[in-house]
Amino acid sequence: MSQAVLPAQNTSRPGRPQNELLSATGTTIFTVMSALANQHGAINLGQGFPDYDGPEDVIEAAAAALKDGRNQYPPLTGVPELRSAVAAHNKRFYGIDIDPNAEVVVTSGATEAITACLMAVINPGDEVVLLEPLYDTYVPTVKLLGGIPKLVRLSPPGWDLPRAELAAAFTARTKAILFNTPMNPTGKVFTPDDLAFIAELVQRHDTYAICDEVYEHLTFDGWKHIPLMTLPGMRERCMRIGSAGKTFNLTGWKVGYVTCDRSLQPNVAKAHQNLTFTTAPNLQRGVAVGLLKDDAYFANLSASLQAKRDLLGAGLARLGFGVLESRGSYFITTDIRPLGWMEDDVAFCRVLTEEARVTAIPNTAFYAASGAPAHYVRFAFCKNEALLAEALLRIEAWLQARAGR
Ligand code: PMP
Ligand code: GLN
């Protein structure tokens, strides 16, 4: 993964060998590229975080909550206000009836939720089906838990589900599939047909589905997010993960929430108990206010992000990038070959940061297996429009200077 950019840690210090998997893992690409962006004064369109704040009422609620004397350990599965709000949100948007006392676990971000859901169901030796390109914690976490990742690759530009390969990846040893829709970095939103295909496999092989749905409210052009959990027969098999970071533009808060059947929730809760036990109570109470916001908030969230996608996408296309369709998430994928770039995506992102002073993420960072396409680059568009315009001007000037060299 990110080893191409930053070498794995030096393990030559004295002492017994430390954990092999972690010793062999580089620092996450997002941290590496953000550090490089800072070093060069670059506009950071790499790591996916907005440069604008979350809703004022949500922030006010969290600030006020610090001052009313509830600053000790909150309940293990989350404060009652937030568990109720998660249940109400599931009902309002997806028609899912959820018991807030038995079917919700609040976590410290979706990242913890992913680990907790995997811990809840897999034993060492179990196989977990994953779809590449993928978020960079999936493969290491599966491996750290003793699971065996079974990778199935989606291909650009359409990122269609390769059905035969996916079906072949499910075996008697498969315990779960973990996948992300709307999908980072591709911008794919899984279609009803995709989901029906996955649901059939999950049921036929008697497995679970861990559904990373952190971008559930960030879809464009009329594309709608559908939780796998809403398909027939799937309610008891799915662990559905949301994140306040994405839904309220508060990525630093690290508040996530798992919705799952009462048969799964105790193990998710016990995994959480062993990871962090609880999540900051004031932030939970702020997020509870957020999840109860009116429909207009959620509609505006995607509409305003779509305008940013259009600005950056059209600008990059005008500058000669091949711009792939993004139907959801914070991200747009671009093909750098039409620019005449002869090296790989890692070199491109390094030079773009150093010379154009704009940072993006090389798509190879989202692949664990070899042979990944090395000519795609991901840009985050969750930024103020003036900053996106400035980034485009910088890239344009850089391309012109290169052409003149
Ligand atoms: N899953 C995906 C696909 C993501 O892009 C992110 C981004 N941070 C996460 C999970 C983690 O979310 P959180 O910040 O809530 O841990
Ligand atoms: N999810 C964000 C992204 O894909 C970054 C999260 C992180 O920095 N770990 O860019």
* Atom number of ligand 1 nearest to Cα 112: 16
Beta bridge partners of 335: 322, 376
How far away, in angstroms, is 17 Cα from ligand 1 center?
Answer: 30
48 lines ligand 2 (CB under 6 A): yes
How far away, in angstroms, is 342 Cα from ligand 1 center?
Answer: 32
28 lines ligand 2 (CB under 6 A): yes
Please state whether the peptide bond connecting residue 133 to the residue before it is cis, i.e. omega within 30 degrees of 0.
yes
How far away, in angstroms, is 234 Cα from ligand 2 center?
Answer: 28
Q: Which amino acid is at 172?
A: A
Ligand 2 pocket: which of 251, 326, 359, 363 to mutate (most atoms <8 Å of CB)? 251
DSSP 230-286: GSTT-TTTEEEEEEHHHHTT-GGG--EEEEE-TTTHHHHHHHHHHHTS---HHHHHH
44 lines ligand 2 (CB under 6 A): no
Q: How high is the pLDDT of residue 405?
A: 80
pTM above 0.85, yes or no: yes
Q: How high is the pLDDT of residue 13?
A: 62
282 lines ligand 2 (CB under 6 A): no
Residues ≥6 apart with Cβ < 8 Å to 246: 214, 215, 216, 217, 218, 330
Residues ≥6 apart with Cβ < 8 Å to 351: none
Ligand 1 pocket: which of 134, 214, 247, 248 to mutate (most atoms <8 Å of CB)? 214
Domains of the chain, each with CATH number or no CATH: 25-53+296-403 (3.90.1150.10), 56-292 (3.40.640.10)
Q: CA 324, CA 157: separation in Å to the nearest integer?
A: 6
Q: Which ligand is nearest to the CA of 363?
A: 2
* Atom number of ligand 1 nearest to Cα 111: 16
Q: How high is the pLDDT of residue 9?
A: 54
Q: How high is the pLDDT of residue 4?
A: 44
How far away, in angstroms, is 179 Cα from ligand 1 center?
Answer: 12
Q: How high is the pLDDT of residue 3?
A: 41
Average confidence (pLDDT) per 10 residues, the chain, 405 residues: 47 80 91 95 97 98 95 97 98 98 98 98 98 97 98 97 98 98 98 98 98 98 98 98 98 98 98 98 98 98 98 98 98 98 96 98 96 97 98 98 89
How far away, in angstroms, is 303 Cα from ligand 1 center?
Answer: 21
* Atom number of ligand 2 nearest to Cα 135: 4
190 lines ligand 2 (CB under 6 A): no
How far away, in angstroms, is 318 Cα from ligand 1 center?
Answer: 30
Ligand 1 pocket: which of 29, 184, 332 to mutate (most atoms <8 Å of CB)? 184
